[in-house]
A = this chain, B = another copy of it.
Amino acid sequence: MSNIVISSRIRLARNFKDYNFIYKLDEKDALKITEAVKNTVLTSSDASPSYFREITGEELKKEGGKLIEEHLISPDFMNLAIPCAVIIDNSREISIMVNEEDHLRIQVIKPGFNLKEALKIANACDDLIEEKNEYAFSEKYGYLTTCPTNVGTGLRASVMLHLPAITMCGRLEALKNNLNRLGITIRGCYGEGSKAYGNLYQISNQVTLGLSEEEITERLTGVVEKIITDEENLRESIKSDALTDKILRAEGILKSCYLLSFKEFTDLWSYVYLGMDMGIIDKKEDFYKLIASLAPNSLMEENPEARDRKRAQLIKEVI
């Protein structure tokens, strides 16, 4: 099977009973919540799947950009004015943000098409915290959240998809419209404006109310399976010498360049990843991870040109 699904993500939004929601939360209460979550998660002996640690202080300042590019924190998290925290596990699959838009944002990212497993782990984290804390919950509406769109399950399920053929064939607008009708959004994972860098798209459920966690996950899974079939069929239809040429050149440029912008890198990455799926280039384990690790902030270089040089160096070591 082709590697069209890069990763699967589950995010749960939760708030604690007896505290104001974020926009009315004072510093004292914000600190109390932060401490409560840290005490629960960091001291838990049965924390799943492995141990957690807090990223804070200098480390957070230095690695913030990288964490955003890994989707472990939101861009907003870096600018919060009240006490807050982020806890991640050592495999960097789980992140727990405290006092972002909700008191608690539990997020699990699994590689590949694996929403069920991600949901299972997110639920385990949720249970772990709920054991010692009480959530804001309504019998009628479910979990209460700062933004009404999250009320109910508080669940957002997302899948990151690599859709080069759908993009090249100009089918993206139609897909977008179809998904909107199903209450599902699609947007570029990287890059600004209308063009998604590297043909990478995030597909997420919009509705969290009136459906169970399992129903949301299953619905999204069904939709993604249909998109995968479309992408695979289109890939068959675009096979040509010209495409093979583009793919082999992309690999050649990644291997040889001396300067490489992130935008160009993602375009070349997309061709090479497609080439691996099509059997034109040998598959490389974890090749998809390059996208996050070569993003601008992950490179920790001072100026854009130094980053472009560093990126060109790093890609040569990997490829």
Give the interface of A toward B (CB within 8 A).
241-242, 244-245, 248-249, 251-253, 255-259, 305, 309, 312
Q: A241-B309, A305-B241, A309-B241 are in contact. Are A256 and B255 (CB under 8 A)?
A: yes
Q: Among B244, B245, B253, which residue has its beta carbon within 8 angstroms of that of A249?
A: B253
List chain B residues, Cβ under 8 A from A244: 258
State the main secondary structure of chain A at its contact with B: helix
Q: Among B241, B251, B256, which residue has its beta carbon within 8 angstroms of that of A248?
A: B256
Copies of this chain in the oligomer: 2
Task: Determine the residue in chain B with the shortest Cβ distance to A255.
Answer: B252
CA distance A313 to B258 in the complex (A): 25
List chain B residues, Cβ under 8 A from A255: 252, 256
CA distance A312 to B247 in the complex (A): 14
- CB distance B256 to A249 under 8 Å? yes
CA distance A257 to B253 in the complex (A): 10
Given A241-B258, A241-B309, A249-B256, 5 other A-B contacts at CB below 8 A?
A: A241-B259, A245-B258, A248-B257, A252-B256, A255-B256
Task: Determine the residue in chain B with the shortest Cβ distance to A305.
Answer: B241
> In the complex, what's the smallest C-beta–C-beta distance from A279 to chain B, in angstroms?
14
Most chain B CB atoms below 10 A, which of A241, A242, A244, A258: A258
List chain B residues, Cβ under 8 A from A256: 248-249, 251-253, 255
> In the complex, what's the smallest C-beta–C-beta distance from A209 to chain B, in angstroms?
52
